[in-house]
């Protein structure tokens, strides 16, 4: 199987997920990526020392890790105890975590995030309304731990003049991530958060240059890409997109056209990767049948393609072997198995994830206490 550069895609006889891959300047030793996972253990929006162990447990030499969604400003939060990267204190707090990953030879990208209307006044400075592309509010939603129901406040529609300020928050956050030592950033353009609130036609009801046509709806996302690329360079910028998901009331009438328009536009900026969520991951928590596929986007995108959403070992191997993706990001399996690539290698049984502790705030339980596989001697 040949890849886009005409190189051999996977060496014969090897486990496809465990073959090396060159992502821009980064030589990855395997293709099993830690997906971004919100864990809500960053008290007061400041990353905590217990994250050092959590991330270093999941680090392999030349393996790629994507940090949990990290707020770009004081209006970016919608969940308790999520980390930020807009203050000096937060940047300093990330440094020992990033250092620990680097000490074990990992490559670490920071996912930068603004929730937009997926918030309520309790998370906002001075109890103000959350910001969005729209004034339409979201109905209460069951969170993916299957327990909590999140409540949202009616958002305030950003004025046209305010939008460049939010773009600038992403630029500064990217700069801060590099200052903290991260190898790059992933723009969170998925799952119904602020960027998707602009991209998707079931949310965006604007009449200015940021609403209406597909080009206009994608303008905000692409202005962020451009600003961040100009700030830290395209070889350190990735983006996560989920055109097919309908989380947080964010669906689109033509997700394939949206996905294709985005990847074709991203090619102009030569960013390092595009990370896409599988159509089967349409509603959170389970795979569903979908007539769609990421293949048109994978084919149209010139950089590294990462797929995520409901993967197990076998279908990850097949996706790589068939050249349907370059890398596979694992969320829940990696959360529960700190040594996931090793377990894939030796076909060890996997720990089961515990939904109830996904978002609890304990610094150990459900966080760093998932056992490593013990090889019998």
Ligand X SMILES: Cc1cc2nc3c(=O)[nH]c(=O)nc-3n(C[C@H](O)[C@H](O)[C@H](O)COP(=O)(O)O)c2cc1C
**Catalytic residue numbers, as ranges:** 193
Q: Is 343 an interacting residue with respect to ligand X (CB under 6 A)?
A: no
Does residue 330 belong to the site contacting ligand X (CB under 6 A)? Answer: yes
Stretch that binds ligand X, among 8-16, 223-231, 259-267, 327-335 (CB under 6 A): 327-335
Task: Report the site for ligand X in 196-235 (rule: CB under 6 A).
Answer: none
| 3 state SS of 316 | helix
CA distance 62 to 7: 20
Name the 3-class secondary structure at 355. Answer: helix
Taking Cα atoms as reference points, which of 334, 319, 373 lies closest to residue 16? 319
Q: Residue 172 belongs to what H/E stretch? A: helix 163-180
User: Which of 129/308 has CB closer to ligand X?
Assistant: 308
- Selected range binding ligand X among 118-126, 168-176, 325-333, 367-375, rule: CB under 6 A: 325-333
Among 19, 38, 134, 304, binds ligand X (CB under 6 A): 38
**Among residue numbers 101 through 130, which ones bind ligand X (CB under 6 A)?**
111
72: nearest Cα among 116, 15, 28: 116
Options 109, 261, 358, 370; binder of ligand X; rule CB under 6 A: 358
Which helix (DSSP H) or strand (DSSP E) does residue 229 occupy? helix 214-232
Nearest to 260 by CA among 297, 315, 223: 297
Verify binding: residue 41, ligand X, rule CB under 6 A.
no
Nearer to ligand X, 38 or 73 (CB): 38
CB contact at 8 A, 351 and 336: yes
What phi and psi, each to the nearest 5 degrees, are found at residue 199? -70, -35
- Is residue 241 a contact point for ligand X (CB under 6 A)? no
Out of 48, 87, 141, 144, the only residue in the binding site for ligand X (CB under 6 A) is 144
Least distance to ligand X, CB of residue 52, Å: 18
CB of 356 to ligand X, least distance (A): 11
Nearer to ligand X (CB atom), residue 129 or residue 180? 180
DSSP state of 312: -
Using CB under 6 A as the binding rule, whether residue 247 contacts ligand X is answered as no
The DSSP string of 5-70 is: TSSBSS-TTS-GGGS-EEETTEEES-SEEE--------GGG---THHHHHHHHT--TT-EEEPPPE
Q: Is residue 184 close enough to count as binding ligand X by CB under 6 A?
A: no
Residues that bind ligand X (rule: CB under 6 A) add up to a total of: 23
Say how far apart CA 101 and CA 63 lie, in whole Å. 10
By CB under 6 A, is residue 190 in contact with ligand X? yes
Applying CB under 6 A, does 240 fall inside the site for ligand X?
yes
Stretch that binds ligand X, among 12-20, 46-54, 183-191, 220-228 (CB under 6 A): 183-191
Q: Does 35 bind ligand X (CB under 6 A)?
A: yes
Number of Cβ within 10 Å of residue 73's Cβ equals 20
Site for ligand X contains 351 (CB under 6 A): no
Answer yes or no whether residue 331 interacts with ligand X by CB under 6 A. yes
C-alpha span between 153 and 230 (Å, rounded): 34
Site residues for ligand X per CB under 6 A: 35-38, 68-69, 111, 144, 188, 190-191, 240, 277, 281, 308-311, 330-333, 358
């Amino acid at each position: 199987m040949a890849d886009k550069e005409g190189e051999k895609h996977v060496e014969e006889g090897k486990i496809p997920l465990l073959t090396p891959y060159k992502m821009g300047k980064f030589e990855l030793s395997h293709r099993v990526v830690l997906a971004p996972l919100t864990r809500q253990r960053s008290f007061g929006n400041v990353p905590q020392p217990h994250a050092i162990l959590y991330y270093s447990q999941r680090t392999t030499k030349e393996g790629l890790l994507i940090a949990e969604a990290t707020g770009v400003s004081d209006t970016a939060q919608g969940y308790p105890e999520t980390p930020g990267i807009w203050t000096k204190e937060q940047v300093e707090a990330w440094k020992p975590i990033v250092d620990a990953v680097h000490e074990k030879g990992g490559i670490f990208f920071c996912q930068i995030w603004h929730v937009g209307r997926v918030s309520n006044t309790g998370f906002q400075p001075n109890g103000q309304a959350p910001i969005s592309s729209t004034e339409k509010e979201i109905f209460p939603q069951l969170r993916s731990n299957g327990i909590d129901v999140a409540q949202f406040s009616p958002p305030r529609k950003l004025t046209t003049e305010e939008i460049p300020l939010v773009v600038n928050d992403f630029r500064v956050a990217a700069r801060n991530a590099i200052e903290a030592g991260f190898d790059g950033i992933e723009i969170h353009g998925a799952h119904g958060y602020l960027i998707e609130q602009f991209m998707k036609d079931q949310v965006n009801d604007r009449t200015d240059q940021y609403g209406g046509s597909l080009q206009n709806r994608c303008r905000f996302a692409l202005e962020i890409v451009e600003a961040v690329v100009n700030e830290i360079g395209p070889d350190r910028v990735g983006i996560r997109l989920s055109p097919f998901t309908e989380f947080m009331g964010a669906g689109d009438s033509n997700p394939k056209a949206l996905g294709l328009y985005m990847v074709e536009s991203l090619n102009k900026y030569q960013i390092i990767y595009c990370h896409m969520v599988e159509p089967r991951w349409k509603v959170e928590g389970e795979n569903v049948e979908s007539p769609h596929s990421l293949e048109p986007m994978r084919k149209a995108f010139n950089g590294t393609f990462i797929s995520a959403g409901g993967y197990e070992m076998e279908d990850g191997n097949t996706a790589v072997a068939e050249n349907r993706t370059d890398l596979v990001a694992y969320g829940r399996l990696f959360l529960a198995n700190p040594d996931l690539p090793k377990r894939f290698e030796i076909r060890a049984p996997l720990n089961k994830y515990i939904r109830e502790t996904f978002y609890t705030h304990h610094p150990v339980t459900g966080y760093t206490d998932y056992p490593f596989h013990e090889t019998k001697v």
